[in-house]
Amino acid sequence: MRCEVCGRKIREAPTRVLIEGAKLTVCTECSKLGKATWEEPVKTSAIPQRQSSASLAMPNRAPIQIKKRIITARVDTSQELVEDYAEVIRQAREILGLNVEDLGKKINEKESVLRKIETGKMAPNELLVSKLERTLKIKLLVPVAEEKVSIPKTSSKEFTLGDVIKFDKKSKGE
């Protein structure tokens, strides 16, 4: 075992002291620097518990808990992504003088994802859409255009699927 202050190998029984608020295991020479006030905690379980690397470095401190803020995008379902979103994003990025790497750092997104979006190989999700709109000061969501379905009037009161759907025979090759 080595002294936590000077680093020398401890040949005699190690001393546990409190030096400037830090609890350390030291040699007899370094024990003069602090107060011998703390005790080693008693282990209650016979089965050794696995410790994380953080608890090995500071055995008597509670682990630090980091609270993560969950970001949720509020997107209205009555809106859809514009058709030429890839071109709109690329042009807005270039107008602001940003390259893909800089934009990725600003919105905390990978370059590869942004490149796929700008080439149209991938559509951005709601969270990414809101990040891009805010950063690039553009509008990517537009109201959904409702398609009007006309139901032809027939002599019978029952409709079939063929009554509702109009087939384009030219596109089918028939």
> Domains of the chain: which residue ranges?
1-38, 79-143
In the three-class reduction of DSSP (H, G, I as helix; E, B as strand; rest coil), residue 164 is classed as: helix
For the stretch 144-165, pLDDT in tens is 876 665 655 655 567 677 766 7
In terms of residues, how long is the chain? 174
The pLDDT of residue 147: 62
**Cβ pair 88, 96 in contact under 8 A:** no
146: left (phi over 0), alpha (psi -120 to 50) or beta: beta
Q: Which residues pair with 45 in a beta bridge?
A: none
Q: Which residues pair with 22 in a beta bridge?
A: 19
**Higher pLDDT among residues 2 and 94, named by residue:** 94
Please state, rounded to an integer, the average pLDDT across all residues of the chain.
Answer: 77
The pLDDT of residue 139: 92
For the stretch 71-81, pLDDT in tens is 665 656 678 88
3-state helix, strand, coil split of the chain in percent (to 5) is: 30, 10, 55
Range ranked top by mean pLDDT from 14-18, 23-27, 125-129: 125-129
| Sequence letter at residue 17 | V
Q: With a cut of 70, say whether residue 166 has pLDDT above it.
A: no
Structural element, H or E, at residue 16: strand 15-19
The mean per-residue pLDDT over the stretch 8-34 comes to: 80
The pLDDT of residue 138: 93
Closest among 128, 102, 95, 99 to 113, alpha carbons compared: 128
CATH class of 79-143: mainly alpha
The pLDDT of residue 159: 66
Alpha-carbon distance 130 to 43, whole Å? 52
For the stretch 55-103, pLDDT in tens is 455 556 677 778 777 766 565 667 888 889 999 999 999 999 999 999 9
17 confidence band (pLDDT: 50, 70, 90): confident
Give the single-character DSSP code of 159: -
Structural element, H or E, at residue 136: helix 126-136
